[in-house]
């Protein structure tokens, strides 16, 4: 009699397995939550709260890991890790709602985070274009309207007809979104004037909006550039500053545009000068959560928000690898995840390769990013990535 150990990573895989076995639907609804496990780390809660939480979790069949000094009462604040199935968390939430010491609010927060984490059926509307991100990841093609792109693909000065032809080629190769930028954000890049950025981007966006089969994204942190781009046909704002200027959120809300909120430590001129973090993923998640709250408060709809951990923006090689390995942690934000690894320096360091020789490294990073939760990949080389994703998605799905 053959015996197998099944590696189930998502609830939908388990549901599919049960359906193939012709398990009763009612039984599937009961059993699926028992098989879905979560480790939920909490930071900065009181030791009293943590110890009560441990007892309540144990009573539901789960457990909670605490530092020794929190158990003995030698510290007032602590961190802990909750260990439970979805069914156990559901029972725990009902018990916590009745508790003091902030446990009622904590129960609701944990419930919201788990619901966010489990969501993978995002719908994204970019103007007239509608995307179902639950079916497949999207490919965002990069178009740098600059003279100083780190990857050597700057298009500044090119004939507009040639740029339109390039956009059409990207669409044919499998791009879903076109991302145009007029100011380089490479490490050490100097800022350019508003007038210069407008002159580089708006004429091209105006022309592409009339002919392109793809929605257009404007890569800018300047609200004035975003407004002009949206006026001329763009439907997505890709803001590397993470809405540092509050006017950007108001403009996106006013135009009902989608927005990519990216994490960056510092600015392009200073971001790679010894970046350090006490808790890399924790700080990125906190930053993106606050920026998303800014967007929501300005009137941006939740379904219009995309988050980006900012690979290479104030990160060391080790930081970039840690982000990609633990990318799924960003799912607690309840938003689609965009990742941009294309030809980045960390790939060059690992492979000892120049930007134009980093395709294989880019493809590997992108495929693994998708396996770890990425919904949108921003790349220079559209066709090879579209083909790689077609194979990886065929395997994963």
12: burial class by Cβ within 10 Å (0-12, 13-18, 19+)? Answer: middle
Residue 269 annotated in active site: no
The DSSP-derived string for 207-244 is HHHHH-SS-EEEE-S-HHHHHHHHHTT--EEEETTSS-
Find the angle CA(367)-CA(188)-CA(358) to the nearest 5 degrees: 30
Q: Among 250, 265, 344, 358, which one carries the catalytic annotation?
A: 344
Is 195 noted as a catalytic residue in this protein?
Answer: no
Strand partners, 230: none
Name the β-bridge partners of 139. Answer: 377
What is the per-residue burial (b if ≥16 Cβ within 10 Å, else e) of 68-102? eebeeeeeeebbbebebbbbbbebbbeebeebeee
* Coil, helix or strand at residue 306: strand
**Would you call 121 helix, strand, or coil by DSSP?**
coil
Q: How many CB atoms lie within 10 A of CB 360?
A: 13
N-terminal to C-terminal alpha carbon distance within the chain? 28
| DSSP label of 337 | B
Reduce the DSSP state of residue 122 to 3 states and report it: coil
Could you list the active site residues? 344, 378
């Amino acid at each position: 009699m053959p015996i197998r150990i099944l590696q189930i990573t998502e609830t939908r895989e388990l549901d599919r397995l049960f359906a193939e076995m012709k398990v009763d639907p009612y039984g599937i609804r009961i059993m699926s939550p028992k098989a879905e496990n979560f480790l939920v780390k909490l930071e900065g809660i009181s030791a009293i709260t943590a110890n009560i939480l441990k007892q309540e979790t144990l009573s539901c069949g789960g457990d909670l890991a605490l530092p020794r000094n929190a158990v003995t009462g030698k510290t007032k604040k602590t961190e802990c890790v909750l260990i439970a199935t979805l069914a156990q968390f559901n029972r725990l939430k009902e018990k916590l709602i009745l508790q003091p010491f902030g446990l009622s609010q904590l129960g609701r927060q944990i419930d919201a985070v788990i619901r966010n984490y489990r969501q993978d059926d995002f719908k994204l509307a970019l103007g007239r274009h509608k995307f179902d991100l639950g079916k497949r990841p999207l490919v965002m093609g990069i178009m740098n309207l600059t003279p100083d792109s780190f990857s050597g693909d700057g298009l500044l000065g090119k004939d507009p007809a040639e740029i339109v032809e390039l956009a059409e080629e990207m669409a044919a190769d499998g791009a879903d979104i076109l991302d145009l930028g007029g100011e380089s954000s490479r490490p050490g890049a100097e800022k350019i004037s508003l007038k210069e950025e407008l002159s580089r981007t708006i004429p091209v966006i105006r022309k592409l909006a009339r002919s392109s089969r793809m929605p257009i994204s404007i890569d800018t942190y300047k609200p004035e550039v975003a407004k002009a781009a949206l006026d001329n046909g763009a439907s997505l704002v890709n803001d590397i500053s993470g809405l540092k200027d509050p006017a950007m959120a108001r403009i996106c809300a006013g135009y009902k545009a989608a927005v990519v909120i990216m994490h960056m430590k510092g600015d392009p001129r200073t971001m790679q000068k010894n970046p350090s973090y006490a808790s890399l993923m924790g700080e990125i998640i906190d930053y993106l959560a606050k920026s998303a709250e800014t967007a929501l408060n300005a009137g941006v709809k939740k379904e219009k928000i995309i988050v980006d951990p900012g690979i290479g923006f104030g990160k060391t090689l080790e930081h970039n690898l840690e982000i990609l390995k633990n990318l799924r942690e960003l799912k607690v934000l309840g938003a689609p995840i965009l990742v941009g690894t294309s030809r980045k320096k960390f790939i060059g360091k690992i492979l000892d390769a120049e930007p134009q020789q980093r395709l294989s490294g880019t493809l590997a990073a992108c495929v693994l990013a998708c396996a770890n939760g990425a919904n949108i990949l921003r790349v220079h080389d559209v066709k090879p990535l579209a083909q790689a994703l077609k194979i990886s998605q065929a395997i994963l799905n």
